[in-house]
């Protein structure tokens, strides 16, 4: 019984160590906006870049054109609308590594 408790304790410590490592690793990554190439590298960079890109969508809200006519038409339906905002809000994108720890967001 004591051996099981020790194994369980070690497992919990290992999981905590992994989570701390991932948290520290995530805070050092930098993300580049898909629309204007501005970079965000703070501890909460993914949330900041998401909010920043949502601002781009809001500036173009309601505009129409051919599908994919501007980068903000991430849904590629020709209209800047709620579908584009949802795709950004869900972080439905691809991260392309530019260099170590720096990622470009692409749709």
Among 62, 45, 56, 42, which Cα is nearest to 107's? 56
pLDDT band at 92 (very low <50, low <70, confident <90, very high): confident
Percent of the chain with pLDDT over 70: 75
Tokens of 58: 């809001």
pTM of the model: 0.70
Among 45, 50, 51, 48, which Cα is nearest to 101's? 45
Given a cut of 80, whether residue 41 has pLDDT beyond it is yes
Answer yes or no: is 84 within a domain.
yes
Answer yes or no: is 13 within a domain.
no
Answer yes or no: is 9 within a domain.
no
Answer yes or no: is 48 within a domain.
yes
Given a cut of 60, whether residue 1 has pLDDT beyond it is no
Three-class HEC string of 21-40: HHHHHHHHCEEECCCCCCEE
Answer yes or no: is 62 within a domain.
yes
Measured in degrees and rounded to the nearest 5, phi and psi for residue 32 equal -105, 130
Answer yes or no: is 1 within a domain.
no
Q: Stretch 25-42: mean pLDDT, rounded? A: 86
Helix (H, G, I), strand (E, B) or coil at 99: strand
What is the average pLDDT value for the chain, to the nearest integer?
81
Bigger pLDDT: 3 vs 42: 42
Which domain does 59 fall in, by range? 30-106
């Amino acid at each position: 019984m004591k051996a099981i408790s020790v194994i369980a304790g070690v497992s919990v410590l290992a999981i905590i160590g992994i989570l701390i490592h991932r948290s520290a690793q995530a805070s050092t990554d930098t993300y580049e906006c898909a629309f204007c190439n501005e970079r965000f590298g703070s501890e909460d960079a993914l949330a900041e870049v998401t909010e920043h890109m949502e601002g781009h969508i809001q500036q173009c809200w309601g505009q129409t054109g051919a599908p994919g006519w501007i980068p903000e038409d991430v849904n590629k339906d020709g209209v800047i609308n709620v579908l584009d905002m949802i795709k950004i809000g869900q972080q439905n994108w691809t991260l392309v590594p530019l260099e170590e720890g720096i990622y470009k967001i692409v749709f």
